[in-house]
């Protein structure tokens, strides 16, 4: 299936082609036809599964673009508001679609002016309810989308969301997207949607087939060396390194910058302007690496991220899915790499089982492997480099003192020296040590199963004994 099967308008198809989208993701395949039929939907889908396009494309296709604010998208955070707005603008750029973002921490007046000229408004609940209650904006959207509804409820926005809907027209199409389907989400859906169609992306569909998932086992003190060795060997074009804590982000950023990488951090202690600058630099290729926490990177949508690194694995499978969903987007290939200690081996296995993913074990390349790879990359780079006219003059001058072979060797040595890798020759666990971890994990599982079976046997004996005891007590009672 391709996007042309949806019969979108020509302007929208042109934008989809321009964005490099090829095949629709599972949630897009299911949601787009339902939305275009005019029905309300409740869709269960994680970040990174393509849900923004799942609601944006059909809604844009049905908009007239000359009737004020036709679509309202409500999201939990400022970062996600900016990302969703950017993506909708990208899809609507040939349709004269204007978007406005509404969130706290910026000028009211500027946002109000943007809303007056917009076809689509993307807003966070707090600032939106302020503007609606004060009467500073009045909108009557035909389409209302709640994106990451579970996140909004977790952040305490339930009352704001209910209040927002009292200001919206009842004659509307409402779309609700959520990673989880709690009782609260289902109750909210019953209150604000009309006979919605339910759509669910199953666990196995959550991590897409375009993402190769690898893990490397190292001792705790080897994490930094392992990350640098993998960066040297993989040579990613654009990558994100995920950390658990803000202080870890800052420390790792400084360490990687000291090693010559162009790296910046993204976490919750940064103000909005700082975050926007970092994201813009990363999008524009001014950074090699973005070091981020889960919260700061939620909803982050950057094209061409070739690799995602888990410096530490997250505590839950949902965060893992969110992290690795930053790569392998729009049908492109991506790689997710987790650096784990032997103590985290069991946690990684639990995550893999819960999302139905296959994670492959790999060994950290040794120093010789990295140097060989860099030599191959250098040969390829030299072969593909176009010769500049001025280089002939330099070579002619060098020929006065050296033959051509010596000149070439000197130039290659100069380039190779700047590319030299450092660190221990060998990092991380060996293949035998990783096999032992698998063996221990299997033994623990088998031992637990044996324990359960023994427990069931004891339970049956206990119940039998209990019945005898109760019978004896009843007999004693009757005698008394």
Q: Is residue 437 part of a domain?
A: no
Whether residues 9 and 105 share a domain: the answer is: yes
CATH number at residue 112: 3.40.50.300
Query: Measured between alpha carbons, how far is 273 from 271 in angstroms, rounded to an integer?
Result: 6
What pLDDT, in 10s, does the model give residues 441-469?
Answer: 888 777 765 664 555 455 444 443 443 34
- Which residues are within 8 A (CB) of 407 and not within 5 positions of it... i.e. 6 or more apart? 395, 398, 399
Q: Is residue 99 part of a domain?
A: yes
Q: Please tell me the predicted confidence (pLDDT) of residue 391.
A: 86
- Domain span at residue 376 reads 368-412
Whether residues 380 and 259 share a domain: the answer is: no
Q: Is residue 87 part of a domain?
A: yes
- Is 22's pLDDT higher than 60? yes
Whether residues 292 and 329 share a domain: the answer is: yes
Q: Please tell me the predicted confidence (pLDDT) of residue 202.
A: 56
pLDDT band at 254 (very low <50, low <70, confident <90, very high): very high
Q: Is residue 314 part of a domain?
A: yes
Q: Is residue 233 part of a domain?
A: yes
Domains identified in the chain, total number: 3
Query: Measured between alpha carbons, how far is 78 from 199 in angstroms, rounded to an integer?
Result: 26
Given 201, 217, 248, which residue is the final one in a domain?
201
What pLDDT, in 10s, does the model give residues 156-183?
Answer: 899 999 999 999 999 999 999 987 788 8
Query: Measured between alpha carbons, how far is 416 from 394 in angstroms, rounded to an integer?
Result: 20
Whether residues 62 and 187 share a domain: the answer is: yes
Whether residues 100 and 144 share a domain: the answer is: yes
Q: Please tell me the predicted confidence (pLDDT) of residue 56.
A: 96
Task: Please state, in angstroms and as integers, the Cα–Cα distance from residue 395 to each residue in 344, 347, 378, 405, 409, following that order.
Answer: 55, 58, 20, 11, 13
Whether residues 220 and 325 share a domain: the answer is: yes
pLDDT band at 471 (very low <50, low <70, confident <90, very high): very low
Query: Measured between alpha carbons, how far is 37 from 59 in angstroms, rounded to an integer?
Result: 11
- Which residues are within 8 A (CB) of 258 and not within 5 positions of it... i.e. 6 or more apart? none
Whether residues 34 and 99 share a domain: the answer is: yes
Whether residues 35 and 151 share a domain: the answer is: yes
Of residues 410 and 33, more confidence is placed in: 33
Kindly state the average pLDDT of the residues 212-234. 94
- The whole-model pTM stands at 0.56
Given 201, 236, 259, which residue is the final one in a domain?
201
Whether residues 170 and 299 share a domain: the answer is: no
Whether residues 326 and 389 share a domain: the answer is: no
Q: Is residue 436 part of a domain?
A: no
Given 412, 444, 473, which residue is the final one in a domain?
412
The tally of CA atoms less than 13 A away on the side-chain side of residue 362 is 19
Residue 222, class by beta-carbon neighbours within 10 Å (0-12 exposed, 13-18 middle, 19+ buried)? Answer: buried
Q: Is residue 103 part of a domain?
A: yes
Q: Is residue 174 part of a domain?
A: yes
Whether residues 11 and 127 share a domain: the answer is: yes
Whether residues 287 and 395 share a domain: the answer is: no
């Amino acid at each position: 299936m391709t996007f042309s099967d949806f019969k979108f308008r020509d302007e929208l198809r042109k934008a989809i082609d321009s964005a490099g989208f090829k095949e629709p993701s599972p949630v897009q395949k299911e949601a787009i036809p339902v939305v275009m039929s005019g029905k309300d939907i409740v869709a269960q889908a994680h970040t990174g599964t393509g849900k923004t396009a799942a609601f944006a494309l059909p809604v844009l296709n049905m908009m007239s673009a000359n009737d004020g604010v036709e679509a309202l998208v409500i999201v939990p955070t400022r970062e996600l508001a900016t990302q969703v707005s950017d993506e909708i603008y990208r899809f609507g750029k040939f349709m004269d679609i204007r978007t406005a973002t509404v969130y706290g921490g910026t000028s009211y007046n500027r946002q109000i002016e943007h809303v007056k000229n917009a076809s689509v408004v993307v807003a966070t609940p707090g600032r939106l309810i302020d503007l609606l209650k004060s009467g500073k904006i009045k909108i009557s959207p035909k389409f209302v989308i709640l994106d990451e509804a579970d996140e909004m409820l977790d952040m305490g926005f339930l009352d704001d969301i209910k209040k927002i809907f009292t200001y919206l027209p009842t004659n509307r199409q409402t779309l609700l997207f959520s990673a989880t389907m709690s009782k609260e989400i289902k109750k909210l859906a019953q209150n604000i949607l009309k006979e919605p169609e339910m759509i669910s992306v199953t666990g196995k569909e959550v991590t897409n087939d375009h993402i190769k998932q690898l893990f490397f086992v190292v001792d705790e003190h080897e994490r930094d060396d392992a990350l640098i060795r993998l960066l040297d060997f993989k040579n990613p074009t654009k990558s994100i390194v995920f950390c658990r804590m803000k202080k870890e982000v800052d420390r790792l950023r400084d360490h990687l910058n000291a090693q010559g990488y162009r790296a910046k951090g993204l976490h919750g202690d940064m103000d909005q302007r700082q975050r926007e600058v970092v994201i813009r630099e990363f999008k524009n290729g001014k950074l090699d690496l973005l070091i981020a926490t889960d919260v700061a990177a939620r909803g982050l949508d950057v094209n061409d991220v070739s690799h995602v690194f888990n410096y530490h694995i997250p505590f839950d499978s949902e965060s893992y899915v969110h992290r690795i969903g930053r790569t392998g987007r729009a049908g492109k290939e991506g790689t997710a790499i987790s650096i784990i200690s032997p103590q985290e081996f069991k946690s990684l296995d639990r995550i893999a089982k819960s999302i139905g993913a296959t994670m492959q074990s790999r060994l950290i390349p040794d120093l010789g492997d990295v140097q060989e790879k860099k030599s191959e990359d250098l040969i390829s780079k030299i072969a593909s480099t176009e010769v500049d006219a001025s280089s002939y003059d330099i070579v002619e001058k060098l020929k006065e003192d050296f033959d051509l072979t010596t000149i070439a060797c000197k130039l290659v040595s100069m380039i190779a020296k700047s590319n030299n890798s450092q660190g221990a020759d060998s990092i991380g666990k060996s293949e035998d040590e990783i096999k032992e971890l698998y063996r221990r994990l299997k033994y623990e599982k088998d031992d637990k199963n044996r324990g359960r079976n023994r427990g069931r046997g004891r339970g049956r004996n206990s119940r039998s004994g209990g019945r005898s005891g109760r019978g004896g007590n009843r007999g004693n009672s009757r005698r008394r």
